[in-house]
Amino acid sequence: MRRRLLGGLLVIILVLGLAAYGGTSFLRVVRIKGEIEALEREVAALRVQSDKLAATVVRLRDDPAYVEKYAREDLGLVREGETVLKFPAPGR
C-alpha cells in the first residue's frame, strides 16, 4: 500500500512538473507567435512604402511634368523670371 502511495505521489509530482514546464513553454510560444504577427504586419507596411517609393523613382526618371511639380511643391523652386507670392496660412 505504501509503495502504491509513493508511486502515485511520484506520478503526481511528475505530472505537475511537466504541466508547469509545458505551461511556460506554451506561454512563450503564444508570445513569439504574437511577435511574428506584428513583424509580418510591419513587413507588409514596409513593402507598401517601398512600392510607393519605387513608383516615385520611376516617375522622377520618366515624367518631366512630375519632376517640375516636385521641384515646385516640395523644394520650393521657381523658374527664372517668375514671381512667387506667399500668403499667410488661414487663421494666422
Q: Are 67 and 60 in contact (CB under 8 A)?
A: yes
Cell of 53: 517609393
With vertex at residue 89, the alpha carbon angle to CA 84 and CA 92, rounded to the nearest 5 degrees, is 130
Domain of residue 52, residue span: 8-73
Mean pLDDT of the chain: 87
Angle between helices 2-62 and 64-73 (to 10 degrees): 100
- 39 confidence band (pLDDT: 50, 70, 90): very high
Residue 81 resides in a domain: no
Q: Are 66 and 60 in contact (CB under 8 A)?
A: yes
With vertex at residue 64, the alpha carbon angle to CA 58 and CA 67, rounded to the nearest 5 degrees, is 75
pLDDT in tens, 18-31: 777 776 777 888 89
% of the chain surpassing 90 pLDDT = 40
What is residue 92's predicted lDDT score, i.e. its pLDDT?
61
Residue 85 resides in a domain: no
What is residue 36's predicted lDDT score, i.e. its pLDDT?
97
Q: Please compute the mean of the pLDDT values over residues 66-81 and round it to a whole number.
A: 86
For the chain, the domain total comes to 1
